[in-house]
Structure 1
Amino acid sequence: MTNNQLKWLYLFILSLIWGSSFILIKKGLVGLTDYQVGSFRIVLTSVFLFSVGFKTLKQIRKEQWKWVAISGFVSSFFPPFLFAMAQNHIDSAIASVLNSLTPLATVIIGVLVFRILSTRRQIFGVVIGLVGTVILILVGADFNPNQNYWYSVLIIIATLGYALNVNIIKKYLNDISALAVTTGNFLFICIPSFVILYYSGFFGSILESEAMQRSAIFVAILSLFGTAIAKVIFNKLVQISSPVFASSVTYTMPVIAVIWGLIDGEAFSFMQIFAASVILLGVYMANKRNRT
């Protein structure tokens, strides 16, 4: 299978996995606090990754470690906490839609900070996708007027971290394996996450609360698939494609997330289906090759 075929396969798999992550966060918040969801997710993911990827750390050169650390904090440490805090106040489907701001941030940061050029077609595709995102947000706000959309700022901050991450990987970490990058990321963030989990009271309450135990199972599923496995696939996708293509997974994720939201009783409308179609059009435009 060629890299061009692989990148679309990876995009599809990531859409399914990460599109389901928002409902798993929602279920995790039933019995756990936002800090517990974020820290428990990171700690479990660290255990999974260290068991299979610790030997790959030797691929990382001395001068690359600082970029591995920065990549870990902006993409894997802060976002789990930010999303958990935000989803205490907004629906899971809306959270996934807000996450679609990542490709726009990727283009801007890539050009301004990392001098990674994007074509006009890519920028146009990102804008189209962003229009669809705005429509989804506005319609969602009409359906859920009692939700506090100020917390959407936390997700926007997380998308900036994701945008920094894809550009860092493409420019500084593209010559080492995706598993090495991901394992290195969690080497830096596992200890502070464990400290947060310990002081959150998690270990003193988990054995006595059935609600916490049920929520912990959802977070465990999220950690294995939505973080550990998906992060390796995503880092590989960045390496064989481009930052904009890799971040375009945030366009397709809302479709899966909205389906889960409907199953869980969240409100959705025909206009949101239309907006999702516009988002997918943006993905196509952002990644369509120019004729030679």
Structure 2
Amino acid sequence: MPNSQLKWVYLILLSIIWGSSFILIKKSLVGLNPLQLGASRILMTAAVLFVVGFNSLKKIKKHEWKWVVLSGFLGTFFPAFLFAYAETEIDSAIASILNSSVPLLALIIGFFVFSRSLIKKQVIGVLIGLSGSIALILIGANVNPDQNYWYALLPILASLFYATNVNIIKAKMQNIPAMSIALGNFIALIIPAITILWYTDFFNGSFLSSEQTQISLGYLALLAVFGTAAAKVMFNKLVQISDPVFSSSVTYLMPIVSVGWGLLDNEKFTAWQFLAALVILVGVFLVNNNKDKQQEKQE
């Protein structure tokens, strides 16, 4: 399958997987605190990736490890905790909606830091998608006035980290296999994650034997295997075969999935929010500029 088609397959799959991640975070927080959730998620994912991709580590050259480690902290470590803390105060769907600022941030960082050119069609698509996201946020604030929207700053900060990470992958790790990047990321995070868990009394026998804790760990296992391990490999590949703005536009589709899960979990949504979601879809398609077609034919 040519990259021009394959990137859309990855985009749709990632939208479904990551759109479902926010409700899994919400369910995991019932029995775990944000630090336990973030650290456990990292360790579970590291274990899965280690089993299926251990041999891929040899494909990372010595001078590339600094970028792999930086990518791990920016693209995984900090966001895992930021989203967990955010969802202690705001709905899972709102957290996903706020995450849709990634493409705009990726475009800005790419321009100012990595000297990427600005394409009119991309800029228009990003702004349309962002306007739909803003509409969803404002409507959500009216529907749920009791939520603490200071915590909305946490997903925005996480989005800034994500946006920086996609540019680093595209600029510095283009020739590293997607599995190698993903496993390298998590290998670098094992010690920090274990340290955090140790200081949260996670390894206390009575805590782990609690039925509520075990149920939450079940949700977390789903999140780690599908929402982090499998999705991380797919996303790294998506960045390599497309561009940072298109790949980060997955965050425009995720809110549609997360809103659906929110409805099933009795979160409040209105028809106006669904209309705003359609605006986001228009932005996604506009972001897919035609600049890369010639390059893709050569690959």
CA separation in 2, counterparts of 1:116 and 1:71? 19
Q: CA RMSD in A?
A: 1.2
CA contact (8 A) 1:36 1:202 kept: yes
CA separation in 2, counterparts of 1:207 and 1:243? 40
CA contact (8 A) 1:103 1:250 kept: yes
1:65 aligns with 2:65: yes
CA contact (8 A) 1:206 1:213 kept: no
CA separation in 2, counterparts of 1:105 and 1:269? 28
CA contact (8 A) 2:202 2:208 kept: no
CA separation in 1, counterparts of 2:234 and 2:209? 36
Structure 1 residue matching 2:30: 3-state secondary structure: helix
CA separation in 1, counterparts of 2:242 and 2:56? 22
Structure 1 equivalent of residue 41 of structure 2: 41
Aligned residue-pair number: 292
Structure 2 equivalent of residue 250 of structure 1: 251
Q: Shift of residue 58 of structure 1?
A: 1.3
CA separation in 2, counterparts of 1:210 and 1:220? 15
Structure 2 equivalent of residue 18 of structure 1: 18
Structure 2 residue matching 1:16: 3-state secondary structure: helix
Q: What is the TM-score when the length of structure 1 is the normalising length?
A: 0.98
CA separation in 2, counterparts of 1:213 and 1:194? 19
Structure 1 residue matching 2:208: 3-state secondary structure: coil
CA contact (8 A) 1:71 1:168 kept: yes
Question: What amino acid maps onto 1:35 in structure 2?
Answer: L
CA contact (8 A) 2:28 2:220 kept: yes
What are the superposed Cα offsets for residues 246-265 of structure 1, whole Å, 9 maximum, x if unpaired?
00000000000000000000
Q: Shift of residue 145 of structure 1?
A: 0.4
Give 5+ residue unaligned stretches, structure 2: 295-299
More moved, 114-123 vs 24-33: 114-123
More moved, 72-81 vs 48-57: 48-57
Structure 1 equivalent of residue 193 of structure 2: 193
Structure 1: 4+ residue segments shifted above 3 A: none
Which aligned pairs between 1:1-292 and structure 2 lie closer than 5 A?
Answer: 1-204=1-204, 205-289=206-290
Question: What amino acid maps onto 1:261 in structure 2?
Answer: G
Q: What is the TM-score when the length of structure 2 is the normalising length?
A: 0.96
CA contact (8 A) 2:41 2:224 kept: yes
CA separation in 2, counterparts of 1:286 and 1:207? 46
CA contact (8 A) 1:50 1:183 kept: yes
CA separation in 1, counterparts of 2:233 and 2:198? 27
CA separation in 2, counterparts of 1:117 and 1:167? 13
Report % sequence identity: 56
CA separation in 1, counterparts of 2:240 and 2:72? 16
CA separation in 1, counterparts of 2:38 and 2:105? 23
Q: Shift of residue 207 of structure 1?
A: 3.2
What are the superposed Cα offsets for residues 176-210 of structure 1, whole Å, 9 maximum, x if unpaired?
10000011111111110011112211110443311
Question: What amino acid maps onto 1:187 in structure 2?
Answer: I
Question: What amino acid maps onto 1:188 in structure 2?
Answer: A
What are the superposed Cα offsets for residues 139-194 of structure 1, whole Å, 9 maximum, x if unpaired?
00001101000001111110011011100010110001000001111111111001
Give 5+ residue unaligned stretches, structure 1: none
CA separation in 1, counterparts of 2:129 and 2:29? 29
Question: What amino acid maps onto 1:65 in structure 2?
Answer: W
CA separation in 2, counterparts of 1:2 and 1:183? 26
CA separation in 1, counterparts of 2:270 and 2:32? 30
Structure 1 equivalent of residue 297 of structure 2: none
CA separation in 2, counterparts of 1:32 and 1:174? 37
CA contact (8 A) 2:39 2:197 kept: yes
CA separation in 2, counterparts of 1:3 and 1:131? 29
CA contact (8 A) 2:182 2:233 kept: yes
Question: What amino acid maps onto 1:278 in structure 2?
Answer: V
CA separation in 2, counterparts of 1:118 and 1:54? 38
CA separation in 2, counterparts of 1:19 and 1:206? 29
